[in-house]
Amino acid sequence: MSGSPSKRSRMPSPPQDPSRQASMQYYSSTDTGSSISSMPPAGMSPDHAMRRVTEYSLLDFKPELNTSSYVNVVQEREEQEVALAGLRINLADQTVYPGSFNLHNDTVNIVARLWNCPEPASFKEYGCFSGAGTVGSTEACLLGGLCLKFRWRAWMAQRGGLSKKEARKLQPNVIISTTFQAAWEKLFKYNDVDPIFIAPRVGCFCPDPEDIRAAIDENTAGVVAVLGDHYAGHYHDVAGICKVVREVNAAKGYQVAVHVDAASGGFVAPFQEEVPAWDFRLPEVVSISASGHKFGESCVGTGFVVWRQRENLSDHVAISVSYLGGKGESFTLNFSRPASGPMVQLYKFLRLGTEGYRTKVRAQMETAKFLRDGLKAMTHKGLPRWIMIDGGDSGCLPVVSAYLNPALKLAYDDIDFQHIVAEHHWYVSAYAMSFHHPVEETTLPLFSDAPATGTMMRIVVKSNLTMVLARNLLSSMTEAIEFLDGASEGYLDLHGTRRGKGTQHHTGHVC
Ligand SMILES: *Cc1c(COP(=O)(O)O)cnc(C)c1O
């Protein structure tokens, strides 16, 4: 027995492994002063190597106080164990991991049913809906965009009697709001797709379907509708966009399709009864993408893309793979990936169930309302302090968005506000009302009716933001405003917190 007195009294033998021995010299370590810029000539002990790796994250900020991003920060112990188990499994190797690939398919099936995808004809053959687990929404958006492009080329080839080779030279356009997320910048830059941007009105964030009607031409492969505009949480009018697309297609003989970028809303809207049909219930919607690590609540970066069917859609990007005793398909940009993503997502689906997601979404919407009401109640010289621009108390993401009332002619803007709130360890995001054109490399106004120099700010209510935290955030914001008022009235010195106007423009890269 290791606990017997005789064994305990025995002197421990000195460590045999010389690298282990070195690890005991914590304070006399010789490499603490060195930076890591090339591979060290000799190895080091496991615990020392681990320390050198993990010390980087000491320099990160507190993710729980970050309301500026959508990245989920709530993780359960069991979920972390599931994630670790998944790290060993490379989904590319379907010969060795057919079981894990089945798990991937089951997870995709749950997502497809959540979005009301009709069971495709190929379901029996493949045992799953046409879709894939991805690294995140970016990969899912790229895949959706590529299928729109290849589908359009097939149509152009047929229409103009072109060969496949000739059709490969044709470049389509995709219509999207100026408030697009940077994932789409990758589609336009990497995949030779021309963007057509529609600028919405300030405070609306949703492109007017009539503007989309005017923009559609024969080179239009598709329209992207966003379910959960990342700036302020609005759901685009997917039904209105589909109606316009249907009418144009009928009048002109086009076959324009709609992709719904539901990065955030894909795991919120299905649990909000008030939201009208936005998904595969609308016939023009051919594909939908979402992130698991946003409101899907996964602790690892995960995403999903689901196509309505295989034919003339996902088959354009399918690479068939065969494995022991079966056949399968790969749709993703990369073959190799850990199984952690779909495994953790399945864990979350089972853990929360429909009722769990519904309760969670309701609580987040209530917390958002508390913060929104708090901002609405703030006044200055008898005028509202904030102009609210988010989607309101229902039918949108749990996001609060506003900008400082220009009528107050304040000496500071929303970006200054963000910096002062950060002094309280809280992160809110502030942006200029401009965007970067990915092809022309110019900076343009985000809205049709507001100057590019305007600013705004946003708070994302994630599932960790309890009322205790939300109260503190609201008082931190109140104090930040008091500080900024005091500073601009000359009581305090801003110490250089004031930034040049227009220096911080929107990059769209908001995760
Ligand atoms: C976050 C987001 C993306 C990109 O998602 P990742 O999962 O970070 O790749 C794309 N579109 C929208 C609308 C988003 O909010």
Residue 6 pLDDT grade (very low, low, confident, very high; cuts 50, 70, 90) = very low
Residue 470 Cα, ligand 1 centroid: separation in angstroms?
A: 24
Residue with the larger pLDDT of the pair 242 and 14: 242
- State residue 498's pLDDT score: 46
Is residue 5 scored above 80 in pLDDT? no
Pocket probe for ligand 1: among 261, 334, 460, the residue whose CB has the most ligand atoms within 8 Å is 261
- State residue 323's pLDDT score: 66
Is residue 32 scored above 50 in pLDDT? yes
d(CA 433, CA 438): 16
290 within ligand 1 shell (Cβ under 6 A): no
Ligand 1, residue 228: give the atom nearest the CA.
Answer: 13
261 within ligand 1 shell (Cβ under 6 A): yes
Is residue 20 scored above 70 in pLDDT? no
Is residue 119 scored above 90 in pLDDT? yes
Q: Which two tokens stand for residue 472?
A: 């503190």
The CA R_g of the chain, rounded to the nearest whole Å, is 26
Residue 472 Cα, ligand 1 centroid: separation in angstroms?
A: 28
Which run of H or E residues covers position 329? Answer: strand 326-330
The amino acid at residue 410 is: L
Residue 241 Cα, ligand 1 centroid: separation in angstroms?
A: 21
Q: Which two tokens stand for residue 45?
A: 């002990």
- State residue 505's pLDDT score: 40
136 within ligand 1 shell (Cβ under 6 A): yes
Residue 239 pLDDT grade (very low, low, confident, very high; cuts 50, 70, 90) = very high
Average pLDDT, the chain: 90
Is residue 52 scored above 80 in pLDDT? yes
23 within ligand 1 shell (Cβ under 6 A): no
* Ligand 1, atom 14, residue with closest C-alpha: 263
Residue 228 Cα, ligand 1 centroid: separation in angstroms?
A: 10
Task: Tell which residue, 358, 361, 357, 360, has the closest CA to residue 349.
Answer: 357
303 within ligand 1 shell (Cβ under 6 A): yes
| Bridging pattern class, strands 257-261 and 220-226 | parallel
Ligand 1, residue 139: give the atom nearest the CA.
Answer: 9
Residue 263 Cα, ligand 1 centroid: separation in angstroms?
A: 5
Q: Which phi and psi (to 5°) does residue 285 adopt?
A: -75, 115
Residue 508 Cα, ligand 1 centroid: separation in angstroms?
A: 10
142 within ligand 1 shell (Cβ under 6 A): no
Q: Which domains does the chain have, with CATH numbers?
A: 82-348 (3.40.640.10), 357-488 (3.90.1150.160)
- State residue 72's pLDDT score: 96
